Structure 1
């Protein structure tokens, strides 16, 4: 990989550290050529510490290593994106990230939808909410709706109407997320099982 370590006259390039699974940015450090080579050789992310004026392997004192998964160079060849699997918290203050955020996996819009479903579950007396009405009716009704939507997906899969197929698929996923909440789980629990089968 061609990296322009001399662009800033200090021999350093920014290294953005990203969790390989959650895709969250964990920290920013700086690497020189030696830090890069040590990272490649050891598979543990090593920086050049500007305060200590030496190479510094993240976790060398705490044991909270950043285990290397991949390194990508940007279009100008002067900034690295390093994906890792962290061992423990990343920040020296004990938080998951240097922005004091939890390093939890998000599924974008689906996580937002799960939060809405959870809110409706906790406020099931809301007369206007379809989701709240399902929670009021109980597990049997929720499970029945998932079954109905699954059958409709299968039926539409055999036809040529792609719009209907996609709409029924959306209905199935929506009701499945409701069922997960009713059982006390989230999409993350299912993803964890799929990842463990890796």
Structure 2
């Protein structure tokens, strides 16, 4: 099990936790819209650090993005395994061809 799998499992385990004792539970209790908003905030922060060129800050923000992506997915009952399966399905397909197939 890699770090993303462990993180996804931890997020799932915290789903029913007390929101006063778990940041993950607090986010999930506020619903998918709040989780999506938080993911968006973190993505913007990562973009800013990418533009600035600060590798350490970008690394930190990228970790936040991955965490908040997994929380957002959990809020909509989409598992990491489903996302990985979709990536595997796309593997070996040209990005241009894949986009064209989506219409």
Q: TM-score, normalised by structure 1?
A: 0.44
Q: CA RMSD in A?
A: 1.2
Q: 1:36-51 alignment to 2 at 5 Å?
A: none
Deviation at 1:192, TM superposition (A): 0.8
- How far, CA to CA, are the matches of 1:151 and 1:165 in structure 2? 11
Q: Does 1:150 align with 2:43?
A: yes
In the TM superposition, what is the alpha-carbon distance from 1:115 to its structure 2 partner? Answer: 1.1
| Residue number in structure 1 paired with 2:98 | none
Larger relative contact order (Cα-Cα within 8 Å, sequence gap ≥ 6): 2
Please give the secondary structure, in 2, of the residue aligned with 1:153.
Answer: helix
Partner Cα distance (2:42, 2:79) in 1: 19
Deviation (angstroms), 1:121 = 0.9
Determine which of 174, 177, 181 is the counterpart of 2:74.
181
3-state SS, counterpart of residue 52 of structure 2? coil
Structure 1 or 2: larger helix share? 2
The aligned counterpart of 1:119 is 13
Taking structure 2 as the reference length, the TM-score comes to 0.82
SS of equivalent to 2:77: coil
Q: If each structure's strand is expressed as a fraction of its own residues, which one has the higher value?
A: 1
Measure how far apart 1:122 and its partner are: 2.4
Please name the residue that 1:195 is paired with: 88
- Is 1:137–2:40 an aligned residue pair? no
Query: 1:126-177 CA deviation, whole Å, 9 max, x = no partner?
Result: 4121111101111111000010111111111011211111110000000001
> Using the alignment, how far apart are the partners of 1:126 and 1:137 within structure 2?
9
Q: Which runs of 5+ in 2 are unaligned?
A: 92-103
* SS across alignment from 1:158: helix
Structure 1 runs (4+) deviating above 3 angstroms are none
Structure 1 unaligned blocks of 5 or more: 1-105
